[in-house]
Chain A
């Protein structure tokens, strides 16, 4: 599922890059960066999980799973952070200087704290896309809204996964559904006039 999501994220990034080349609009460059980061994280976590499975959960390879998750977590935080920065800049037109704090290098297993951070970031983006849909009322903005709501839900399910394993499947389905909605948006935008 990560590989499908990776492919869609890269397709969105490519569309944003094409838009930037035409319009020289910086927000599209940030959008491109955001989805490249998302795609990279998904690819790395997908590959690390694949290696663990192919190695039949050999003890020597198990370390790859938290490494993959940690990288995906960091890239997601950066990607959603870039997207939030773009929304804030668009609405407030303020210059923001970002000071990167020294982050101690830790490896994360999937846990409630990291999922809560992602839910918080995604919820902000989902609210922005909801505001956009309430103003524009276009199908494409509805698809983007649906995508980010699905991604919020997927991380809520990942949070609930600590209580019941069943939610792990729900989380992946919600994540895939979110990226499929983004794919539908891309296809709609690019349909011939």
Chain B
């Protein structure tokens, strides 16, 4: 988007959707790694570039759905809020999928 351009609701919604999908992909990778995932595993699992991964990890930490431990070897794990978010998303995905709608 051109800097200063006002996002239309449709564009904003599309952006939000893709962002939500990336959040879910990251959280699912962490969950799959027994809730102890290194950044490299998340990077490959969620199919993200390094810069974008750092950006999304920061956002997820701010949202308090993941937490970071370790200093040199950073490890990410889901918080209780993150686990609940994933469960809620699974329900919504399953509900929409029952009607044939993808989210």
Contact = CB atoms under 8 A, between A and B. Distances in A.
B87 A26 contact: no
A13 B103 CA distance: 17
B17 A185 contact: no
Given A140-B94, A141-B98, A25 B87 contact: no
A143 B91 contact: no
Interface in A135-168: 136, 138, 140-141, 143-144
B13 A16 contact: no
Nearest to A95: B10
Interface string A1-39: 000000000000001101100111111100100000000
A86 interface: yes
Nearest to A23: B103
- Count chain A CB atoms within 10 A of each CB in B16, B17, B91, B98 and give the residue with the most: B98
B100 A24 contact: no
Interface stretch (A50-58, A64-72, A126-134): A126-134
Nearest to A22: B92
Contact of B92 (A23, A186, A188): A23
A174 B87 CA distance: 33
Query: Per DSSP, are chain A's interface residues mostly helix, strand or loop, or mixed?
Result: helix
Interface residues of A, number: 31
Contact of A143 (B87, B98, B100): B98
B88 interface: yes
Contact of B95 (A26, A86, A140): A140
B100 A31 contact: no
A140 B97 contact: yes
Contacts of B96: 19, 23, 25, 27-28, 31
B63 interface: no
A131 B89 CA distance: 24
A189 B98 contact: yes
Nearest to B98: A140
- Count chain A CB atoms within 10 A of each CB in B87, B99, B100, B103 and give the residue with the most: B99
Contacts of A140: 94-95, 97-98
A128 B103 CA distance: 17
6 contacts: A22-B92, A31-B101, A90-B100, A129-B99, A138-B97, A186-B95
Interface of B: 13, 16-17, 20, 87-92, 94-103
Given A19-B95, A189-B91, 16 more contacts: A16-B95, A19-B91, A19-B103, A24-B20, A28-B101, A28-B103, A90-B101, A90-B102, A128-B100, A131-B100, A132-B97, A132-B98, A138-B98, A140-B97, A144-B99, A186-B95
